[in-house]
């Protein structure tokens, strides 16, 4: 093996990129195996799950649990076994050297193995006005920003679980919540649909997309287009919440790891990537399920395999 980059200030058995359910579960397993395990949190502590108001489908919590609370429990359990959590973000990863080199805003590390759990980011509509009003009426997190829309009229764009979960949450504050969906039926689970349809504050506009977000100093309206008739109309609203899917946070790994056609990191059933010693878990490698429990399961598998990979290296005398 080549020498560790001389700029590396710390060498770890495992560096875990991301602090969502996948990363923290992976750290739990590697730390319990007495491997030096460093978690770089990235910009979003506890991942997207950490900003979810309530998680009702994670086993062991029959009454549900707040996303931030569950994230803290995950973190506390990993730290109990010696995992180190650092509030920092990787800005470059070199998988061509071994040990691998991970640079952050504040340090440089060498890693004998890496577990990637960088997750995914909310997709944008990419329509006029969206960027202008982001943070000033346009949001991608109802849990984060719902309070600012007390007694106001908002629209939620999307038809999946996230759109309905956040829409239902927003009814705590908003006067009305209108869900805009490009199809005539929702993709969300049956239980969420039942709750949404039963909520008197929620209404639906079907077969429609947002083509523009309108306002001067403040957001005032959205332009909608019927995808069947092409008819356009403008609705007066105070806020736009967008939940139309996710984009995998893969930028650091493009050209270094094999990706699928949607940009997700390809893994086998052992969470192994195309580079030996590098594993991926959670939404960065899962475009389909995208659940806390499946991410945690993938994290557990990645942690176990990283441990076995390092054990094999040691037994080989490498």
Report DSSP letters for 22-34, one per residue.
HHHHHHHHHHHTT
Query: Is 144 marked active-site?
Result: yes
Q: Is 4 helix (H, G, I), strand (E, B) or coil?
A: coil
Pairing of strands 108-116, 278-280: parallel
CB 42 within 8 A of CB 118: yes
Residue in 13, 88, 145, 286 annotated catalytic:
145
203: left (phi over 0), alpha (psi -120 to 50) or beta: beta
CB 114 within 8 A of CB 102: yes
Q: How far apart are CA 273 and CA 120, in angstroms?
A: 17
Q: How far apart are CA 10 and CA 171, in angstroms?
A: 48
CB 50 within 8 A of CB 284: no
Q: How far apart are CA 109 and CA 5, in angstroms?
A: 9
Phi and psi (nearest 5°) for 15?
A: -115, 130
Query: Is 145 marked active-site?
Result: yes
Residue in 144, 184, 260, 312 annotated catalytic:
144
Residue in 13, 141, 161, 286 annotated catalytic:
141
CA distances from 141 to 170, 181, 316 (A): 10, 18, 48
CB 13 within 8 A of CB 38: no
Catalytic residue numbers read 141, 144-145
């Amino acid at each position: 093996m080549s020498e560790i980059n001389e700029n590396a200030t710390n060498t770890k058995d495992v560096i875990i990129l991301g602090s969502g359910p996948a990363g923290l579960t992976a750290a739990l397993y590697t730390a319990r195996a007495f491997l030096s395990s460093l978690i770089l949190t990235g910009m979003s502590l506890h991942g997207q799950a950490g900003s979810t108001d309530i998680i009702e489908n994670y086993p062991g919590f029959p009454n549900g649990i707040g996303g931030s609370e569950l994230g803290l429990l995950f973190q506390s359990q990993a730290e109990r076994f010696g995992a180190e959590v650092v509030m920092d973000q990787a800005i470059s990863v070199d998988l061509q050297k071994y040990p691998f080199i991970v640079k952050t805003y504040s340090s440089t590390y060498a890693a004998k193995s890496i577990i990637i759990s960088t997750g995914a980011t909310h997709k944008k509509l990419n329509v006029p006005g969206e960027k202008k009003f982001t943070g000033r009426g346009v949001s991608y997190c109802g849990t984060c920003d719902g309070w600012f829309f007390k007694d106001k009229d908002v629209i939620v764009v999307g038809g999946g679980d996230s759109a309905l979960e956040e829409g239902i949450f927003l009814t705590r504050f908003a006067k009305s919540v209108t869900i805009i969906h490009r199809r005539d039926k929702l993709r969300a689970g049956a239980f969420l649909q039942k709750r949404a349809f039963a909520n008197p504050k929620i209404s639906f506009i079907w077969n429609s997309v947002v083509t523009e977000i309108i306002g001067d100093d403040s957001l005032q309206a959205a332009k909608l287009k019927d995808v069947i008739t092409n008819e356009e109309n403008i609705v007066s609203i105070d806020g736009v919440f967008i939940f139309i899917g996710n984009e995998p946070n893969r930028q650091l790994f493009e050209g270094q790891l094999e990706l699928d056609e949607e940009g997700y990191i390809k893994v086998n059933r052992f969470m192994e990537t195309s580079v030996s010693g590098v594993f991926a878990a959670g939404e960065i490698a899962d475009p389909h399920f995208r659940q806390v429990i499946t991410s945690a399961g993938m994290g557990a598998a990645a942690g176990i395999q990283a441990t076995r990979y390092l054990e094999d290296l040691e037994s080989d005398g490498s």
